[in-house]
Structure 1
Amino acid sequence: MSTSTELAPAATDAVWLHGVTTGVAPGTLAGIVGIAGTPVRAVPAAGLVAVVSDAPLTEYGEEALRRNLEDLTWLEQTARAHHAVVAALSRAAVVVPARLATVHSDDDRVTRVLVERRDEFAGTLARLADRDEWGVKGYVVPGPPPPAAEPTGGGGGAGAAYLRRRRAQLTAREEGQQIAADAAAAVHTALAGYAAAARRHAPQDRRLSGASTAMALNGAYLVDRDRVDHFADLVRGLADRHPQLRLELTGPWPPYSFVAEPAPAVGGSA
């Protein structure tokens, strides 16, 4: 008697994790589009809910994903799609946002992550409840140029005069940078003292920020929702006290800066 073995069909999709919450109301996920245009769905376990979307392996499998992460256009589009889901969830519930490109092999693996990290997720959700992330960026306000007049009794001819001008310009620039750095530190300290938590990120390059001057402060602040108006007043007051910086308040954002996530999982058994 002959026998035959049926092979399970090869998987065509991985599972992209957008975030973890304690639950979503019926209908909340309806109409929310995830990665690659696929609808988002819930994977419940251990009293938590992972919000995921299916990600085709042709684009989000291990090799394809590593390659695509080097494509800035693809990366920007994918980040926008991921953020749109997290932002929609944040408007409806407390959510722990997943880092970009957190991809698991299947729903079973997502379930195991929820079970294994239940206490961590629950603690983070409790800490984020009724709070939002706000960003404050501080851009350097250029000071007046150094005086063009030559120092008294200079001498030494045109070459020496040029060197003195250059030295004065460099000194003024260094002093300006130090003044801006001191102001940025003072602003961050004041805002961190008011917020529930704070992070100071590396300043963005001008090509990324789009600003005409350098960024001296790139801060993120976790603020109680009932204290946001006072926080905004504090930012305005600090702007008046530190005219060396142009302060920009942005938000509210999902609390990406205040979630301790492990390195994103790519492909298989994350």
Structure 2
Amino acid sequence: MTPTISYAYAVARDADGSLEKALSGLPGVAEAPVHLVRVERSDNVVVAVSPVPERDFQETALRAHLEDLDWLESVARAHHRVIEALAARTAVLPLRLATVYLDDERVRLMLQARREMFAGRLSDLAAQVEWGVKVYVEVDAETERPAGPPADAGLSPGRAYLSRRRAQRHAREDAYREAEQAAERVEAAARAYAVDRVQHRPQQGELARGPGENVINDAYLVPLQHAEDFRTDAMQAAEGLPGVRVEVTGPWAPYSFATLAETEPLKRVTP
């Protein structure tokens, strides 16, 4: 029999005792079944867990796997699938990808030590969703703008080149100013509907998707009853700003707001 360790997805509130049934048949990481760990049978604060192969998640192997983008994507999809299934039914605190413990008893001890803190945070996040908002400066949009006078406008080739470069620089500056305007519109929507914000580092390189430069990458916590109002306003933030694109994603479980800053982060326990 393959040795296993416990992979923890999230802390959740099982108010009516229906979560176990809702998760039945849902494949988790490594196609493993998902079950709930709780301190006592009657406790409604639970951790969603799967048994995963020890050989893939012990520290050395995990470090190597994290360099394998296909493996990482598979784990991330399963992780997200379980969390979304929970979030569709209850308040949830997503845990970091690849949070593992030696066994369910270690998960239970962790939950017992931090139960009151988890319960308080679950209450704070009840009936709230996360929206992601990214603002992009569209590089392609700059090239469509006038790049200065043509070479036959009486300028020498050198002066014509400098004129074009100056116009391109001004176009880029205009695009950044427009991005600031879009950000101000998103913030206005946040003041009306959101209760919290987390500012993430703008995405670059392989993490960046689509055209343009990502200059703002924020997450907003919005009460469920205002979720669509916030989305509508945020989606309109780039209207009339040709050098800017705004991308709104969600609604998600509150990944960005689940961190309990007043405690040490959950430690990955490995053999």
TM-score by length of 1: 0.84
Q: From the superposition, tell whether residues 264 and 63 of structure 1 become closer, same or farther in structure 2 (CA, over 3 Å).
A: farther
Structure 2 counterpart of 1:192, which letter? A
- SS of residue matched to 2:211: coil
Equivalent in the alignment of 2:184: 186
Unaligned runs of 5+ in 1: 1-8
For 1:263 and 1:73, locate their aligned partners in 2 and report how far apart those are by CA, in whole Å. 27
Equivalent in the alignment of 2:113: 116
Give CA deviations for 1:245-266 in whole Å, capped at 9, x if unaligned.
3323221111101111554533
Out of 6, 26, 39, the residue aligned to residue 15 of structure 1 is 6
Q: Please state if 1:234 is matched with 2:233.
A: yes
* Counterpart contact for 2:198–2:256, Cα < 8 Å: yes
For 1:240 and 1:162, locate their aligned partners in 2 and report how far apart those are by CA, in whole Å. 32
Equivalent in the alignment of 1:268: 270
* Counterpart contact for 1:60–1:267, Cα < 8 Å: no
Q: Please state if 1:80 is matched with 2:71.
A: no
* Counterpart contact for 2:137–2:176, Cα < 8 Å: no
Equivalent in the alignment of 2:194: 195
- SS of residue matched to 1:27: helix
Equivalent in the alignment of 2:145: 145
Q: From the superposition, tell whether residues 110 and 12 of structure 1 become closer, same or farther in structure 2 (CA, over 3 Å).
A: same
For 2:23 and 2:209, locate their aligned partners in 1 and report how far apart those are by CA, in whole Å. 34
* Counterpart contact for 2:135–2:183, Cα < 8 Å: no
How far is 1:177 from its partner?
4.2
For 1:165 and 1:21, locate their aligned partners in 2 and report how far apart those are by CA, in whole Å. 58
Give CA deviations for 1:8-27 in whole Å, capped at 9, x if unaligned.
x9x92111100111225151
Equivalent in the alignment of 2:104: 107
Equivalent in the alignment of 1:6: none
- SS of residue matched to 2:239: helix
For 1:234 and 1:41, locate their aligned partners in 2 and report how far apart those are by CA, in whole Å. 39
For 1:245 and 1:80, locate their aligned partners in 2 and report how far apart those are by CA, in whole Å. 30
Unaligned runs of 5+ in 2: none
Q: From the superposition, tell whether residues 241 and 120 of structure 1 become closer, same or farther in structure 2 (CA, over 3 Å).
A: farther
For 1:44 and 1:254, locate their aligned partners in 2 and report how far apart those are by CA, in whole Å. 21
For 2:199 and 2:154, locate their aligned partners in 1 and report how far apart those are by CA, in whole Å. 45
* Counterpart contact for 1:65–1:266, Cα < 8 Å: no
How far is 1:150 from its partner?
6.3
What aligned pairs does 1:1-270 form with structure 2 within 5 A after superposition?
Answer: 12-23=3-14, 24-25=17-18, 26-45=20-39, 47=43, 48-141=45-138, 142-143=141-142, 144-149=144-149, 157-173=156-172, 175-193=173-191, 194-205=193-204, 207-240=206-239, 242=241, 244-260=243-259, 263=265, 265-268=267-270
How far is 1:108 from its partner?
1.6
- SS of residue matched to 2:11: strand
Structure 2 counterpart of 1:187, which letter? R
- SS of residue matched to 2:96: coil
- SS of residue matched to 1:149: coil
TM-score by length of 2: 0.84
Q: From the superposition, tell whether residues 213 and 206 of structure 1 become closer, same or farther in structure 2 (CA, over 3 Å).
A: farther
> How many positions carry a matched residue from both structures?
258
Structure 2 counterpart of 1:171, which letter? H
How far is 1:154 from its partner?
7.9
Q: From the superposition, tell whether residues 59 and 265 of structure 1 become closer, same or farther in structure 2 (CA, over 3 Å).
A: same
